[in-house]
Amino acid sequence: MLRVVLADDEKKVLLLMCKLIDWESLGFEIVGMASDGMHALEMIRDKQPHLLVTDIRMPGFDGIDLIRQAKQMQPGLHFIVVSGYAQFEYAQNALKYGVEGYLLKPLKVQEMTDLLTGLKGKLSEQATIEYRLKKSDEREQERIIDTLIGEIHGDVRTSSAVRSFNLEYGLPSNGCYFAAIVKPDIPSAWKNPDGVHAMMKHALEIVRQELGQLKCGFAAAIRREGVAVAAYLPEYQPVEVKQCFTKIRKEIEKQRDLFWGIRATICLGSRCSAADALGASMREALWLCIDRLCHTPIWRDAETDIPDFHAYYTMDSSCKRRFQEAAEYLNKEQYIGELEDSYRDVMSRQPLWGKMLEDWFLEILTAMRYGMQRNGETDNSFYQRMMDGLWQAINAQELFRLLHDDMCGEIDRLRNERMLREARPITDAKRFIQQHYQEALRLEDVSSAVGFNATYFSAMFKKETGQNFMDYLTELRMNKAKELLCSDENSVQDVADQIGYRDLKYFSRLFKKTTGISPSEYKKLYR
């Protein structure tokens, strides 16, 4: 299906366009509707439509401005204008940007249907070709980036693929290669994963567009670290490269109306003369990128800001054990205390580098994960989210807040899950007791029925109910006895038999101890 975005400040017109036109039978799907130019542009960026149907006059910016900006964002996008203005200049401006049709309100269904039918063939063919080329190109670029980052993490199996970078792109053996990380940062980004995803997609498009203008061979892909780039130039021109990446940064930061406080950092690895050295360049770019947690220049270049790969943080073994212990026993208070002490320790280091903060974060995360696994708790998705959060944090304070808020939230979640797990057998035990209280019921019978040994079950039962097993059973039986004694049909002996006591004297003594009066006296009172 061909994707369509509708834009008009009159909601009635939007609804009429939806209902009057049989979009589906024509091969189109409405993926978004906007009542102003700003929202329409957001939808174009997020939905990547094939066709925009827009009014000329709208709040924010008008249809012509929308078409112009949308054309820059998505050059292959097609347009239809539906307007209440018949003036020649509007139509002339619209046609200048390659608008397929200029229709006047009130909208004529047949006129729109004929226009869409004519467009369908052209758009379908174009969309198919572009999709295949784009996806093929994107997959290849992603593979190259994965190869480089894999090499950094010691995946030797990928090294041969790195060496084929220039061959796959048909590049000469001589020239200049370099890696880069383009990192958009949004405050508290890990709390808004959908927004981050949309922003990263937009950043990737900007990177690809501007590097295309630079006329270089490149691979670019979204990774948790940012938009990772591997690039080739026949001859490295520092001014041109800086201008290109500066424009990338400025275009990303134009989104401040949508993402408050957004900031972009450009991190370049060293230049090299062979593709198989790109792994080292990417390592430098990543080091500079994580260093933004401590230092915030918008431009980092490994050839002038030389990474110190010997700067690392190692946690004291006793401190690790305390974190593990806090995790094993889900002791949130102990964890917070250890975290605060550890944070003060790492922040006191001079000089402090972003890589040291990364090591500190990973040491705590690893210790907590180990402790929770010893406790039988495993949730790989949580640790994946925390790793994503590491690269989404914009400074040391956010890194601390991530470890504090999200880890405490995870401890609370696991505590609640444990309580539910522990409460479930007790619920089953209560149900079993209700069904069998008339019998000569023992602790061992109940614990066996719910799958626990008697000692552990006894302690767990007391913890959950506030009573030991025998007191709970006795209370249940006495309450049942009270009910039965109120009936004329039941003698005291009958009641004792029905609630599991074969010894009448013992039952009477226990009943009086519980209620203060004998069963016979109780029966007289409530007869």
Give the CATH fold of the 140-295 domain: Alpha-Beta Plaits (3.30.70)
Give the CATH fold of the 2-107 domain: Rossmann fold (3.40.50)
Cα end-to-end span (Å), the chain: 79
Residue type, 391: W
Maximum Cα interatomic distance, the chain, rounded to a whole number of Å: 109
Determine the pLDDT at residue 522. Answer: 86
* Strand arrangement of the beta sheet that strand 28-34 belongs to: 28-34, 2-7, 51-54, 78-83, 101-104
- Burial environment of residue 428 by CB neighbours within 10 A (0 to 12, 13 to 18, 19 or more): middle
Q: How much is the CA Rg of the chain, to the nearest whole Å?
A: 35
Give phi and psi for 230, each to the nearest 5: -120, 125
| Angstrom distances, CA of residue 365 to CA of 123, 218, 339 | 50, 35, 11
Pairing state between β 2-7 and 217-223: unpaired
Determine the pLDDT at residue 131. Answer: 46
Q: Produce one character per residue of 305-340: b if its CB has 16 or more CB atoms within 10 Å, e if not.
A: bebeeebebebeeebbebbbbbbbebbbeebbebbe
Domain regions of the chain by residue span: 2-107, 140-295, 317-417, 437-525
Determine the pLDDT at residue 40. Answer: 87
Residue type, 165: F
Strand, coil or helix: 489: coil
Residues of the chain with pLDDT under 70: 60-62, 75, 85-98, 125-137, 150-174, 377-378, 527
Strand, coil or helix: 30: strand
Is pTM, for the whole model, over 0.85?
no
Q: State the DSSP string of 234-279.
A: SS--HHHHHHHHHHHHHHHHGGGGTSTT-EEEEEEPPPBSSGGGHH
Under 8 Å CB-to-CB from 180, ≥6 apart: which residues? 228, 229, 231, 245, 266, 267, 268, 269, 285
Beta bridge pairs of residue 217: 232
Residue type, 130: E
Tokens 């990772």 correspond to 228
* Strand arrangement of the beta sheet that strand 176-185 belongs to: 217-223, 226-233, 176-185, 263-268, 299-301
- Which alpha helices (DSSP H) does 378-406 contain, by range? 380-392, 396-401
Phi-psi region of 226 (alpha: psi -120 to 50; beta: other; left: phi over 0): left
CATH class entry, domain 437-525: mainly alpha
- Burial environment of residue 292 by CB neighbours within 10 A (0 to 12, 13 to 18, 19 or more): buried
Residue type, 385: R
Taking alpha carbons only, the member of 97, 44, 36 closest to residue 67 is 97
Determine the pLDDT at residue 129. Answer: 42
Residues 166 and 173: beta-carbon distance below 8 Å? yes
CA atoms of 364 and 30, how far apart (whole Å): 47
CA atoms of 1 and 206, how far apart (whole Å): 26
